[in-house]
Each structure stands twice: as structure tokens, then as C-alpha cells.
Amino acid sequence: MNLIELPYAPNALEPVISAATLGFHHGKHLQAYVNNLNAALPGSPYEGMSLEEIVCNADGGIFNNAGQILNHNLYFTQFRAPREANAPTGALKGQIERQFGSFETFKTEFAAKGAGLFGSGWVWLSADEDGRLVITQEPNAGNPVTKGLRPLLTFDVWEHAYYLDYQNRRPDHLKALWTIIDWDEVERRYAE
Ligand code: MN
């Protein structure tokens, strides 16, 4: 298992996510999960499995580290430089409007689920097998693949994701994240 490369420069997401936060979050936290999993996999029943397979089958430390790698790989590859008007444009846009009424309502509901998650975890937008959208909260290293859902978009609400830039102001951080979502990538995940 290798550490993923970021598809943008370390300062590309500023001021929403600083280069310092990215350096720790990607270079230290995610690297540690990769190192831990690589140390635990050899000789285990999960050697040779994909991250998704490990997350759906393992428990304990292997689940935690594989889950955090899968989650962060999806998280870090869903961003691009800030844009003022930033919104989906394709089939996902239509589905959001059908189910939530409007993109604004969806954003409010999603961010509220992130702000309201107690402790460390993730809020997810996923698709079920019929293409319907589902918002879920997952504690710690949880990923909606364990519920048969296909993850599309996620906000990391562990404090390490925002504390250097926003301290305790988690809702402000989550609100700012909307300006850096790469909706082309999220639409691509939805179309898969
Ligand atoms: Mn994180």
C-alpha cells in the first residue's frame, strides 16, 4: 500500500485548507495509517485484498487503518482550488435537486450532519444501487461501503483535519469546504 499523491500543489486549497494542515494531514496522519497497515497485513487473511475488501471484512487495528486510508484517499482526491460559485453540473446535480429540493438545502443538511457528529468521524454522501443519494455519519474510521453504499463525497470531521486553521470552529470549516469540492470528480464517482 502506497501513500497517494495529492492531485494539486500543497498550497492550492488555501485559505480553506492550509499547506501546513495538508502537510500534517497527508504527510503525517495518512502516512502513519499506511505504515501501520503495511506492518499489519503480511501473514494476515487480508493480504492481497483491496482496501474496500479489507474494510468490509476486517476488524480491530486492520479495519481502523485500512478504513482511514480508504477514507482519506477519497477525501484528498475530491478537492480543487477555491471557486466562488462551486456546484455540480451533471446527473448528480439533478438527483440532488430531486431528493433534497435544492443544492443549498442539500449543503445545509450535509454540513449539519458533519457539525453534529460527536467526536471523530466522517459525514458521507453515497449512492445506493438504484442511484439514490444517502447522507450518513460514520464514527472513527467508518466508510459507507460496509453498508453496501458507494461513497461519493466526504467531510473529515476529525480535529486534525481543521484544527490548525479553524481551531474549534468546525462548522465554519465545513462551510468553507464547499468552495473547494471538485464536483467533476464527484460526478465521475456518481456515474461509475
Ligand atoms: Mn483525517
Distance 62 CA to ligand 1 centre (A): 17
Task: Identify the pLDDT of residue 6.
Answer: 98
Distance 162 CA to ligand 1 centre (A): 9
Task: Identify the pLDDT of residue 93.
Answer: 97
Distance 157 CA to ligand 1 centre (A): 7
Cβ neighbours of residue 119 closer than 8 Å, sequence gap 6 or more: 139, 140
Distance 65 CA to ligand 1 centre (A): 11
Question: DSSP 3-state assignment of 85?
Answer: coil
Distance 91 CA to ligand 1 centre (A): 29
Task: Identify the pLDDT of residue 66.
Answer: 98
Cis peptide before 151 (omega within 30 of 0): no
pLDDT bracket for residue 139 (50, 70, 90): very high
Q: For all residues of the chain together, what is the average pLDDT? A: 97
pLDDT bracket for residue 147 (50, 70, 90): very high
Mean pLDDT across 148-171? 97
Task: Identify the pLDDT of residue 183.
Answer: 98
